[in-house]
Amino acid sequence: MGRALLYAFLLLATLFFLLPVYLVVLTALKEPAKITLDTVWRWPDPVYWESFRIAWEAFRPKFQNSLVLALTATALSALVGALNGYVLAKWPFRGSGLLFALMLFGMFIPYQSILIPLFQFVKAIGLYGTLWGLILVHVVYGIPIVTLIFKNYYSEIPDELVEAARIDGAGFFAIFRHVILPLSVPAFVVVAIWQFTQIWNEFLFAVTLTRPESQPITVALAQLAGGEAVKWNLPMAGAILAALPTLLVYVFLGRYFLRGLLAGSVKG
């Protein structure tokens, strides 16, 4: 009896989580004229693959923007984070703890509280409407979380390793390059996954700081779905495209994804 109840509950929960996905795929595969509200749950007949071709054509530039944005910003912020974490964990100086704490504060602020000065600033330095402006913003506001992850990770590496290399005459960068970096792969994976999904999914900065030609896919999707008289197969196909990269990351690197999630969201 208890067991049956358990499975009934799990089945119900599974339906709650998966039915929306089912409906999205279903709608994306329907001919626009055949999307009527009373047949909404019926499987498309015939299956209309055109939606994906049209959606891909419409979204391809935005998809590319997102890809360039997320990959570049992730790479840069991982690099910055590794160096910062290395300094804070292995070369602490007087006041570095306080500076780190002040840095971490940047992780918690709602970005609405800096959005207007940020907008003015990006405009003033001529990067408004460009992908580079958005990359800069993501790298800077990513500093606290990536620094935190790398610092925590490097704190676990015994100081003796660094000390021994120093006695051998290795300098700051040589130690980083030959002792620390080879041990850093797991931290890089966690940071890369975290930053990639965050930046790919981000919306507020993207909608405030871009023009149509530099829009990431999240902005394009929100505008398409928000338009009047939409044919719903397109936003649904677009939603699948927009979700695909982060979903693939989740499916194939789920273990690291979860680790990043717990590290990032407990935040401290």
**Residue 121 vs 132, nearer CB to another protein:** 121
Q: Report yes or no: 251 and 182 within 8 Å, Cβ to Cβ.
A: no
- Of 95 and 158, CB closest to another protein: 95
Residue type, 221: L
> Are residues 179 and 162 in contact, defined by beta-carbon separation less than 8 angstroms?
yes
Nearer to another protein, 119 or 132 (CB): 119
Instruction: Please state the closest distance from residue 51 (CB atom) to another protein, in A.
Output: 13
Give me the sign of the Cα torsion angle 139, 263, 251, 157. Answer: positive
Nearer to another protein, 57 or 93 (CB): 93
CB 185 to another protein: min, Å? 21
**Pick 131 or 239: Cβ nearer another protein:** 239
The residue among 77 and 131 lying less far from another protein, judged by its C-beta, is 77
Q: Rounded to the nearest whole angstrom, what is the least distance from the CB of residue 76 to another protein in the complex?
A: 12
**Total residue length of the chain:** 268
**Residue 103, token pair as written in the block:** 């840095």
Choose between 60 and 267: whose C-beta lies nearer to another protein: 267
Minimum distance of another protein from residue 24's CB (angstroms): 5
Start-to-end CA distance of the chain, whole Å, equals 43
Neighbours of 184 (CB within 10 A): 19
CA distances from residue 63 to 165, 240, 242 in whole angstroms, order as listed:
45, 12, 7
- In angstroms, give the least distance from the CB of 168 to another protein: 13
Contact of 263 with 190, CB cutoff 8 Å: yes
CB of 31 to another protein, least distance (A): 16
Cβ distance 213 to 130 under 8 Å?
no
Q: Is the peptide bond before 46 cis (omega within 30 degrees of 0)?
A: yes
SS3 268: coil
- Least Cβ distance, residue 141 to another protein (angstroms): 7
Exposed, middle or buried, 134 (CB in 10 Å: 0-12/13-18/19+)? buried
